[in-house]
């Protein structure tokens, strides 16, 4: 293992300190926590340092050659942590079809961007904002009995069921494993490309309606969402 100069100096100081500490502890009865520290300390003392003087450098750990690329940064943002290997394939590899399908659907770019945020769990739901703003409630704006996650808004919210019913977009309700991407993947498998477009616009219109209800004091109205989706899809189809 090659360690840079500054890191080497720091490690030596730590080793010296730990050695003195460990000497002081010898012969004493240690608590369980103390024994753990002792074991860790011995492991640190056993780390072999490189004899070569290597300067510290910056590396982009997502690429083998350490050089930053926008492509990999986008993939990490879109697919979550690429390094979580499951069954030999990274999460990005296993979910690549979800993202590539998303970009191929004929809807407005703003709908696609919204959907990217939804699939990345990056929408400003109350659950998400509460983790960033101290004192904010993380409970649902409508039922106030559950955390307002994106899955709760787009799957549990009563309005969603009525909107989906009227748009003919009802899927198998048990066909997802718990996360919002699992829910989207289940719909992707069931729906053709056109239905996926309606589904994406449907979610986008629901989010728009949710914001109008919360920030503009509008009434909750599934008919309003259904009309919006139909108008937008008509405009999109008309533009083809």
Which residues bind to Zn ion, rule: CB under 5 A? 140, 142-143
Q: Minimum Å distance from CB 188 to Zn ion?
A: 25
**Residue, CB closest to Zn ion:** 140
Q: How many residues does the chain have?
A: 240
Nearer to Zn ion, 143 or 214 (CB): 143
Query: Is the CB of 11 or the CB of 146 nearer to Zn ion?
Result: 146
Please answer whether residues 69 and 60 qualify as being in contact, where contact means their C-beta atoms are separated by less than 8 angstroms: yes
Q: Give the shortest CB-156-to-Zn ion separation in angstroms.
A: 6
Residue 142 CB, shortest distance to Zn ion, in Å, is 5
β-pair partners for 85: 90
Q: How far is the CB of 148 from Zn ion (least distance, A)?
A: 6
Alpha-carbon torsion angle 224, 228, 229, 235, nearest 10:
160
In the complex, the smallest distance separating the C-beta of residue 178 from Zn ion, rounded to whole angstroms, is: 17
The nearer residue to Zn ion, 126 or 185, going by C-beta atoms, is 126
Q: Which is nearer to Zn ion, 153 or 233 (CB)?
A: 153
Is the CB of 19 or the CB of 138 nearer to Zn ion? 138
- H/E run at residue 89: strand 89-90
Positive/negative CA dihedral, 203, 209, 215, 220:
negative
- Taking CB atoms within 8 Å and a gap of at least 24, the contacts of 136-140 are none
Q: Could you tell me if 103 and 124 are in contact, meaning their C-beta atoms sit under 8 angstroms apart?
A: no
Q: Which residue reads 């750990």 in tokens?
A: 61
Q: Whose Cβ is closer to Zn ion: residue 142's or residue 199's?
A: 142
Where is 86: in which H helix or E strand?
strand 85-86
What is the closest distance, in whole angstroms, from the C-beta atom of residue 130 to Zn ion in the complex? Answer: 14
List C-alpha distances in Å: 49 to 1, 18, 236. Answer: 7, 16, 63
């Amino acid at each position: 293992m090659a360690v840079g100069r500054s890191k080497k100096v720091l490690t030596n100081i730590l080793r010296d300190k730990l050695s003195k500490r460990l000497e002081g502890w010898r012969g004493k009865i240690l608590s369980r926590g103390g024994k753990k520290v002792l074991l860790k300390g011995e492991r640190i003392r056993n780390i072999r340092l490189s004899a070569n003087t290597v300067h510290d450098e910056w590396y982009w750990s997502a690429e083998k050659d350490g050089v930053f690329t926008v492509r990999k940064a986008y993939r990490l943002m879109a697919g979550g942590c690429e390094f979580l290997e499951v069954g030999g394939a990274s999460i990005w590899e296993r979910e690549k079809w979800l993202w590539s399908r998303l970009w191929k659907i004929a809807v407005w770019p703003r709908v696609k961007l919204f959907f990217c945020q939804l699939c990345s769990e990056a929408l400003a739901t109350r659950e998400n904002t509460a983790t960033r703003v101290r004192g904010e409630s993380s409970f649902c704006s409508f039922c106030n009995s559950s955390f307002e996650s994106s899955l709760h808004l787009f799957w549990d919210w009563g309005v969603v069921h009525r909107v989906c019913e009227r748009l003919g977009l009802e899927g198998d309700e048990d066909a997802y494993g718990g996360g919002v991407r699992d829910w989207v993947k289940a719909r992707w498998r069931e729906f053709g490309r056109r239905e996926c477009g309606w589904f994406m616009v449907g979610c986008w219109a629901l989010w728009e309606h949710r914001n109008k209800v919360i920030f503009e004091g509008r009434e909750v109205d599934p008919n309003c969402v259904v009309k919006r989706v139909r108008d937008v899809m008509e405009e999109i189809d008309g533009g083809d």
